Amino acid sequence: MCFALDGGVWLHRHKLRGEPMVHLVSADRERLLALGPALGLEPEWLQYKPLKDPRTGVRVPAWHWDVMGVRLRRLETGEATTRRTDPQGSAP
């Protein structure tokens, strides 16, 4: 979590109704927004959730995306970093 509070992107794994999912978390909103297109995430899906910094006890502005299903598989296989588009510009 401290990594995310310092501006990195933390991949926090858990389950929702028994299905694997992750939160991509960061105090750096722009960094998260830059990752969105590779995973097919829309900016309006980004969620604001301040986190308490365990080092200070102070709440810090932070954001996260819920990632599951095909987007999670794309992230896990590394496909998100090599995503390409067809000539008409739509994602595969």
| pLDDT value for 4 | 92
SS3 76: helix
pTM of the model: 0.74
Domain boundaries, the chain: 2-81
List the structure tokens of 70: 């095909």
Q: When comparing pLDDT for 85 and 29, which is higher?
A: 29
Band the pLDDT of 6: cuts 50, 70, 90: very high
pLDDT digits (tens, 9 = 90+) for 7-64: 999 888 888 888 888 989 999 999 999 988 888 889 999 999 999 999 999 999 999 9
Contact 59, 23 (CB under 8 A): no
